[in-house]
């Protein structure tokens, strides 16, 4: 039945396909540390400054055309990593290379071109649209900033973007204000805004978690479709593994600022190796009362990324810890074709 | 005798000059120690049902009809003072976001004590001892009682909210999206904790969530609400296995599962706003691919399709056809997206 369904819609089918040969984006030992505020007394004693290590040594590539899902608990550094990739934040150390260019070095027109190519979709569709702007103005703004086309051409582009975001007929939505739209429609406007400059790469940070269930899947399918049609590459940040499994062909699992497992979604979520990935997966409720789930609780809670334990950052909660885990931080190693894991057990 | 019986509950809000009928004809029964899940999208009335039962509706809201019989008494007729003593003692609640319900300037232990001392004439030292017990019951160390809310993680705060709900040994707890703000791992642990506590303490629960995955795991019975009305209500297992209402069918299609590989199908359109909406016919009709002429003219009556399984749909006789068609994506494209 399932197979039949997919075959009926080959156009819109998800592409869990093979490898693309070109890396669009390479991340090399990326770090983002935030200084922790200290009191006056501590400052006078010149006590050692402490840092929140939100992203702490992350390296991976995103192949052109991929949808990479970034999973992890809150506080694992997902959003910070997403913002680093589009240069909304400057890294403390490490590099982000897009098409081989270090984005930290971009200036002037090159930076502007980069900005046009890298877009974001945020979580809260009620907060990301200017309530005083009509949809038309919201969509025209990026075109004006980047001096794309003349006035008439811009309206036409806005229309096309709305149609692509499945807000049809576009003319009905152009004069609307955000308060006249539902949450799902607003998120579609945000998507139209993100694609209007025909970017190469979009970071979508929890784009469906605030939407109602019945419209959520529509937005997910839309993201899959525009990726297909526009040849986009996507980073999809979510704490919801079911959604990642549905949408993304690659998955990375983040724990306390480091990647613990990354690779093809069917491998990482179908047959997890890292104890943390296993625990995350086991905690997902199954919407079917006839299926019994085995719980796999891990003790403790995700600690503050300020005073991290030595060795593997997961060991205090790990069910499979060994002596070496307390002493040495495991590196991300290739465990099979298309998958890397950072665990001494491997 | 059932612990809680709700009959034909109607709740209205006064918004501006108009009356919004937020909850219509809601009914259910809940036995001791059992769980009822209420699922639905934002604005469907699920939280209003909870607030009406607790008699904590905002000022512009009122119960316009119906009865809420709790342990044999109609609590809608109780004096305010009687209701106050019933609340927390017998009938308590776990709110959606514990972050906002704990007072930031008091230690959490003091807040826990406070809730006990308000209802029990016992010395403070005893109340503190009870608080330590409660903290341990929900899996927190007693020393955490000395913390202020900002020193605790979201999961810990939520546990405190549970401890508070349990503090007076209630027979019913209403939990409104108790784990929505939490991570999967924390959520899983809290759900497991609640289950474990429930086995020992035998309290009943009303569990409100938009996450049918959570409801499927926790609740014996479930109710699906749409635009203020029940569309389907029954034993969770039966309701999942033999779904009748098109909206429930649509929700099942739209919900991703970590296990299944299928294309998600969304329901066209979006949930209606109840402000200024015409009150005739089935509210789901504009989004329903199976709507027929009759759906526009009268509200579909609640039909008991088998003992304990209630459905509000005119097309229950064609359910086989509906179920099959609901799995085809094309079915859900035909009705117009507004």
**Cα distance between residue A328 and residue A315, in whole Å:** 10
Is it the case that residue A130 has pLDDT exceeding 90? yes
Highest mean pLDDT among A243-247, B85-89, B138-142, B266-270: A243-247
Confidence of residue A21 (pLDDT cuts 50, 70, 90): low
In this prediction, residue A142 carries a pLDDT of 96
Reply yes or no on whether the pLDDT at A83 is more than 60: yes
* DSSP at A138: H
Query: For residue A310, what pLDDT band results from cuts at 50, 70 and 90?
Result: confident
pLDDT at A294: 81
pLDDT value, residue A50: 85
- Residue B141's pLDDT is 86
| B316 DSSP assignment | G
B258, B262, B329: best to mutate for the A interface, most A CBs within 10 A: B258
- Residue-number span of the structural domain to which A188 is assigned: 22-36+50-341
B183 closest CB neighbour out of A217, A239, A293: A239
Q: Can you give the pLDDT at residue B334? A: 57
What interface predicted TM-score (ipTM) does this complex get? 0.83
In B95-145, which residue ranges form alpha helices assigned H by DSSP?
Answer: 98-101, 108-119, 124-137
Closest CA to A107 of A115, A99, A98, A96: A115
Q: Which tokens belong to B335?
A: 């009705």
Place of tokens 């997961």: A314
For residue A1, being part of any structural domain is answered with no
Q: Is there a contact between B266 and A221 if contact means CB atoms under 8 Å apart?
A: yes
- Which of A280, A287, A301 comes nearest B212 by C-beta? A287
pLDDT of residue B305: 96
Q: Are the beta carbons of B252 and A183 separated by less than 8 Å?
A: no
Q: Is residue A202 part of a domain?
A: yes
Q: Which residue has the tokens 């809608």?
A: B76
- Res B338: pLDDT: 36
Average pLDDT over residues B230-236: 97
Alpha-carbon distance A47 to nearest alpha carbon in chain B (angstroms): 22
CA nearest to B272 within chain A:
A182
**Beta-bridge partner residues of B309:** B306
Q: Is the pLDDT of residue A140 over 80?
A: yes
Q: Is residue A3 part of a domain?
A: no
Alpha-carbon distance B338 to nearest alpha carbon in chain A (angstroms):
9
Residue with token string 């190796």 = A273
Confidence label for B99 from pLDDT (cuts 50, 70 and 90): low
Q: Are A168 and A162 in contact (CB under 8 A)?
A: yes
Classify residue B297 by burial, with Cβ atoms within 10 Å: 0-12, 13-18, 19+. Answer: exposed
Number of domains in chain A: 1
Q: Measuring CA to CA, which residue among B237, B257, B283, B274 is closest to residue B45?
A: B274
A and B: number of Cβ contacts within 8 A: 151
Residues 177-216 of A with CB under 8 A from B: 182-185, 212-216
Provide the pLDDT confidence category of residue B123 given band limits of 50, 70 and 90: very high
Residue A143 has pLDDT above 80, yes or no: yes
Q: Domain spans of chain B?
A: 243-334
Q: How far apart are the C-alpha atoms of A229 and A216, rounded to whole Å?
A: 20
List chain A residues with CB under 8 Å of B260: 2
- On whether any CB of chain B is under 8 Å from the CB of A125, the answer is no
Beta strands per DSSP E along chain A: 23-35, 51-63, 67-71, 93-98, 101-102, 118-121, 201-205, 233-237, 250-255, 258-264, 333-336, 339-341
pLDDT in tens, B250-276: 999 998 888 877 889 989 888 887 776
Q: Is residue A8 part of a domain?
A: no
Closest by Cβ to A285, choosing from B155, B216, B237: B216
pLDDT at A340: 96
Neighbour-count burial of A299, counting CB atoms closer than 10 A to its CB (0-12 exposed, 13-18 middle, 19+ buried): exposed
- Average pLDDT of the residues in A272-297: 88
| A-interface mutation test, from B266, B286, B332, B336, most A Cβ less than 10 A away | B266
Chain-chain contact of A185 with B270 (C-beta, under 8 angstroms) = yes
- What's A257's domain CATH number? 3.40.50.300
B189 and A297 within 8 Å at the Cβ level: the answer is yes
DSSP designation for B64: E
pLDDT at A194: 96
**In this predicted model, what pLDDT tens digit does every residue of A163-204 receive, in sequence order?**
999 998 999 999 999 999 988 899 999 999 999 999 999 999
In a domain, A110, yes or no: yes
| Closest to A104 (Cα-Cα) out of A158, A31, A170 | A31
């Amino acid at each position: 039945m399932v197979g039949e369904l997919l075959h009926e819609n080959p156009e819109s089918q998800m592409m869990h396909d093979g490898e693309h040969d070109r890396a669009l984006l390479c991340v090399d030992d990326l770090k983002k540390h935030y200084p922790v505020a200290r009191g006056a007394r501590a400052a006078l004693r010149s006590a050692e400054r402490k840092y929140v290590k939100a992203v702490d040594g992350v390296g991976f590539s995103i192949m052109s055309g991929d949808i990479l899902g970034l999973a992890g608990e809150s506080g694992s550094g997902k959003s910070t990593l997403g913002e680093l990739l589009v240069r909304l934040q400057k890294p403390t150390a490490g590099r982000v290379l897009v098409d081989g260019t270090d984005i930290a070095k971009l200036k002037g027109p090159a930076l502007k071109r980069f900005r046009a190519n890298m877009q974001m979709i945020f979580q809260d569709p009620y907060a990301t649209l200017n309530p005083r702007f009509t949809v038309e103005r919201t969509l025209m703004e990026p075109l004006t900033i980047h001096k794309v086309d003349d006035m008439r051409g811009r309206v036409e582009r806005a229309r096309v973007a709305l149609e692509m975001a499945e807000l049809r007929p576009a003319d009905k939505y152009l004069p609307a204000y955000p308060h006249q739209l539902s949450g799902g429609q607003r998120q579609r406007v945000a998507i139209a805004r993100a694609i209007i400059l025909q970017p190469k790469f979009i970071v979508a940070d929890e784009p469906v978690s605030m939407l109602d269930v019945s419209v959520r899947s529509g937005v997910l399918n839309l993201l899959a479709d525009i990726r297909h049609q526009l040849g986009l590459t996507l980073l999809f940040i979510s704490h919801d593994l079911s959604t990642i499994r549905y949408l993304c062909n690659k998955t990375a699992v983040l724990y306390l600022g480091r990647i613990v497992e990354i690779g093809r979604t069917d491998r990482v979520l179908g047959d997890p190796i890292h104890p943390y990935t296993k625990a995350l997966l086991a905690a997902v409720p199954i919407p079917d009362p006839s299926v019994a789930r085995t719980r796999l609780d891990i003790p403790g809670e995700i600690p503050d990324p300020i005073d991290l334990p030595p060795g593997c950052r997961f060991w205090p909660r790990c069910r499979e810890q060994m002596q070496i885990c307390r002493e040495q931080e495991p590196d991300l190693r290739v465990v099979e074709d298309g998958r890397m894991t950072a665990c001494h057990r491997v | 005798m059932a612990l809680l019986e709700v009959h034909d509950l109607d709740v209205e809000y006064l918004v501006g000059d108009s009356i919004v009928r937020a909850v219509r004809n809601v009914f259910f029964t809940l036995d001791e120690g059992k769980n009822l899940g209420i699922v639905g999208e934002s604005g469907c009335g699920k939280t209003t049902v909870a607030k009406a039962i607790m008699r904590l509706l905002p000022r512009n809201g009122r119960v316009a009809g119906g009865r809420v019989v709790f342990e044999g008494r109609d609590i809608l007729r109780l004096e305010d003072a009687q209701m106050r003593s019933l609340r927390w003692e017998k009938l308590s609640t776990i709110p959606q976001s514990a972050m906002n319900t704990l007072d930031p300037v008091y230690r959490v232990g003091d807040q826990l004590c406070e809730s006990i001392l308000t209802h029990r004439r016992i010395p403070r030292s005893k109340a503190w001892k009870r608080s330590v017990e409660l903290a341990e019951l929900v899996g927190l160390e007693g020393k955490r009682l000395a913390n202020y809310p900002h020193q605790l993680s979201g999961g810990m705060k939520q546990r405190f909210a549970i401890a508070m709900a349990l503090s007076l040994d209630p027979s019913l707890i209403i939990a409104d999206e108790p784990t929505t703000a939490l991570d999967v791992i924390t959520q899983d642990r809290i759900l497991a904790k609640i289950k474990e506590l429930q086995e020992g303490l035998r309290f009943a629960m009303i569990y409100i969530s938009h996450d049918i995955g959570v409801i499927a795991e926790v609740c014996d019975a479930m109710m699906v609400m749409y635009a203020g009305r029940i569309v389907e209500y029954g034993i969770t297992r039966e309701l999942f296995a033999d779904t009748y209402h098109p909206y429930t069918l649509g929700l099942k299609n739209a919900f991703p599962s970590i296990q299944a590989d299928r294309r998600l199908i969304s329901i066209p359109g979006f949930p209606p706003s109840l402000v200024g909406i015409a009150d005739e016919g089935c509210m789901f009709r504009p989004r329903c691919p199976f709507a027929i002429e009759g759906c526009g003219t009268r509200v579909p009556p609640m039909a008991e399709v088998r003992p304990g399984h209630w459905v509000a749909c005119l097309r229950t006789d064609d359910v086989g056809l509906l179920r099959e068609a609901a799995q085809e994506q094309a079915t859900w494209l035909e009705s117009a997206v507004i």
